[in-house]
């Protein structure tokens, strides 16, 4: 009988917190429930009610809320561990967790009155407070300035609204004359299109959304994207908690870290299933009693475990580094940010390779839609195609700076829309 490595407390990071560990451990206990309902989420195109309610009860959608609004504002190490643990049960659940955390930071750059208004309206909300669609994309929709605010023009469509079926509010990109901005829409101001028909992360509800008619948005729910870097830098002065002691580049790095922590969790989940499935199955054309007794399976187990361990070590080490920078009050240089981003992306791709190895080693049993390994494989492939964290572009962005060449963008590589907004603002001036 095979013995999988057990979770251990001896490697707890000194930078994780008691609050973060408690949430992580609650999620760990939910892992069977999350995995059990993952196929249902694929069919629904969003998280199933049982998963959504369980994660909400565990506090997963509140990880990055500031203490002033009832949240723990967790640091990078806590977030990496919790997101990975959610994704170990289901990648789409992990993705929704990342969205809830990541776009809380963007949302907090709105005026204090808007932030307070939104949190007051969502005290009992069971899901992400804010999600986003086409915020940093090349293609955004038009709005116009009117007395007291802005009107988002009818007919616009924003894509990749991950978590939109569960979120209370949505941040979308708009063009107002020569200003590229973002607006905060509430439920009832947009419609969700049934167009998220994809090979993986089907339960992430990354649908497009549209404004079927003109929508009025008050002044306080509009922000100029050109000012986002400064606004993110200023969160340190506005909010307490380790998660908000970083500069803007550090805050954007956490989003990349969470995204790749999803692939880590999915690789760990696939490995769990791999070990379980080798115990009683027999090889097709080899004379061993079980797959676990088969040397080629043992070799794959050793390789896959080492690959996942290496990816985890890199992601967690970089998470600790981000937390130490936050504690020290130090900012990130562009080349440093690009290097750490590449480390995260590399770790994610190692996780993808480990899942590929697991699936090819086990063979045709893994292609059944009843087998969680095939879902981990598909979900990971989709996660690794995300525009902000693809391997070769991330390597180029980091590599050119390692060689002393100037960065492509003035802000984080993951958000080209901000650079475009700043160029437009400069040209208008």
CATH code, domain with 298: 1.20.140.10
pLDDT at residue 378 tops 90: yes
In-domain check, residue 236: no
Task: Give the model's pLDDT for residue 9.
Answer: 58
276: containing domain: 242-402
Cβ atoms of residues 165 and 183 within 8 Å? no
φ, ψ (nearest 5 deg) of residue 134? 45, 45
Same domain, 103 and 149: no
In-domain check, residue 349: yes
CATH code for the domain of 203: 2.40.110.10
Task: Give the model's pLDDT for residue 405.
Answer: 92
pLDDT at residue 421 tops 90: no
pLDDT at residue 208 tops 50: yes
pLDDT at residue 402 tops 60: yes
Same domain, 293 and 350: yes
| Rounded mean pLDDT, 319-328 | 98
pLDDT at residue 429 tops 80: no
Handedness of CA 357, 361, 362, 367 (dihedral sign): positive
Same domain, 289 and 387: yes
Same domain, 343 and 387: yes
Asked which of 117-126, 130-139, 153-162, 285-294 is least confident by mean pLDDT, the reply is 130-139
In-domain check, residue 415: no
Task: Give the model's pLDDT for residue 217.
Answer: 98
| Rounded mean pLDDT, 188-211 | 97
Which of 415 and 305 is assigned the larger pLDDT? 305
* Average pLDDT of the residues of the chain: 94
pTM: 0.95
The pLDDT tens digits of the residues spanning 328-345 come to 999 999 999 999 999 999
CB-based burial label for 125 (10 Å; 0-12, 13-18, 19+): middle
Same domain, 158 and 57: no
Asked which of 3-12, 158-167, 196-205 is least confident by mean pLDDT, the reply is 3-12
Same domain, 107 and 29: yes
Same domain, 196 and 272: no
> Which tokens go with 213?
């008619």
Distances (CA, A) of 44 to 204, 210, 377: 10, 20, 19
Q: How confident is the model at residue 410 (pLDDT cuts 50, 70, 90)?
A: low
Task: Give the model's pLDDT for residue 4.
Answer: 47
pLDDT at residue 284 tops 80: yes
In-domain check, residue 202: yes
Residue that is last in its domain, among 98, 121, 144: 121
Same domain, 202 and 272: no
Find all residues with CB under 8 Å of 8, minimum gap 6, and list them: none
CATH code for the domain of 113: 1.10.540.10
For the chain, what percent of residues have pLDDT higher than 90? Answer: 89
Give the integer Cα–Cα distance in Å for 78 and 241.
12
pLDDT at residue 5 tops 60: no
| Rounded mean pLDDT, 268-289 | 96
Cβ atoms of residues 96 and 47 within 8 Å? yes
φ, ψ (nearest 5 deg) of residue 173? -85, 140
In-domain check, residue 136: yes
Task: Give the model's pLDDT for residue 1.
Answer: 44
The pLDDT tens digits of the residues spanning 238-276 come to 999 999 999 999 999 999 999 999 999 999 999 999 999
Same domain, 83 and 176: no
CA dihedral 32, 34, 37, 40 (to 10 degrees): -150
Distances (CA, A) of 170 to 182, 183, 189, 216, 340: 10, 8, 10, 14, 29
Find where tokens 């509009």 sit: 222
Task: Give the model's pLDDT for residue 415.
Answer: 61
Same domain, 344 and 366: yes
Give the SS3 label for residue 169: strand
In-domain check, residue 425: no
Task: Give the model's pLDDT for residue 416.
Answer: 63
Same domain, 341 and 250: yes
Q: Domains in the chain: how many in total?
A: 3
Same domain, 303 and 342: yes
| Rounded mean pLDDT, 167-190 | 96
Residue that is last in its domain, among 121, 152, 184: 121
In-domain check, residue 173: yes
User: Residue 136: which of 182, 80, 183, 177 has the closest Cα?
Assistant: 182
Residue that is last in its domain, among 102, 121, 140: 121
In-domain check, residue 163: yes
């Amino acid at each position: 009988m095979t013995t999988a490595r057990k979770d251990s407390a001896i490697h707890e990071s000194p930078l994780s917190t008691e609050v973060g560990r408690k949430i992580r451990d609650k999620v760990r206990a939910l892992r069977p429930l999350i995995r059990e309902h993952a196929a249902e989420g694929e069919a629904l195109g969003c998280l199933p009610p049982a998963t959504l309610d369980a994660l909400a009860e565990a506090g997963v959608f509140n990880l990055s809320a500031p203490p002033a609004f009832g949240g723990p504002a967790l640091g990078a190490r806590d977030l990496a561990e919790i997101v990975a643990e959610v994704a170990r049960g289901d990648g789409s659940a992990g993705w929704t967790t990342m969205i809830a955390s990541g776009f809380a930071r963007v949302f907090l750059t709105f005026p204090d009155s808007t932030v307070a208004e939104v949190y007051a309206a969502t005290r009992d909300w069971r899901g992400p407070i804010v999600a986003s669609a086409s915020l940093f994309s090349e293609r955004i929709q038009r709005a116009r300035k009117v007395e007291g605010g802005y009107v988002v023009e009818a007919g616009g469509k924003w894509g990749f609204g991950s978590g939109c079926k569960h979120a209370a509010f949505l941040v979308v990109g708009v063009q107002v004359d020569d200003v590229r901005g973002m607006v905060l829409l509430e439920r009832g101001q947009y419609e969700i299109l049934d167009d998220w028909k994809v090979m993986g992360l089907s339960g992430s509800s990354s649908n497009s959304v549209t404004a079927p008619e003109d929508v009025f948005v008050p002044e306080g729910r509009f922000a100029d994207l050109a000012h986002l870097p400064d606004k993110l830098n200023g969160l340190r002065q506005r909010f307490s908690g380790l998660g908000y002691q970083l500069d803007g580049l550090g805050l954007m790095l956490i989003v990349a870290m969470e995204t790749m922590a999803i692939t880590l969790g999915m690789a760990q989940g696939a490995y769990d299933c791999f070990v379980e499935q080798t115990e009683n199955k027999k090889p097709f054309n080899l004379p061993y009693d079980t797959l676990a007794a088969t040397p080629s399976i043992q070799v794959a187990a050793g390789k896959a475990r080492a690959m996942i361990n290496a990816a985890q070590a890199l992601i967690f080490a970089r998470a600790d580094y981000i937390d130490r920078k936050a504690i020290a009050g130090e900012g990130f240089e562009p080349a440093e940010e690009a290097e750490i981003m590449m480390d995260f992306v590399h770790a994610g791709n190692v996780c993808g390779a480990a899942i590929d190895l697991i699936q090819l080693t086990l063979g045709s049993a893994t292609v059944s839609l009843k087998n969680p390994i095939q879902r981990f494989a598909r979900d990971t492939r989709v996660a690794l195609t995300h525009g902000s964290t693809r391997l070769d572009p991330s390597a180029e962005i980091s590599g050119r700076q390692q060689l002393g060449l100037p960065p492509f963008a003035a802000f984080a590589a993951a958000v080209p829309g901000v650079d475009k907004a700043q160029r437009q603002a400069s040209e208008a001036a």
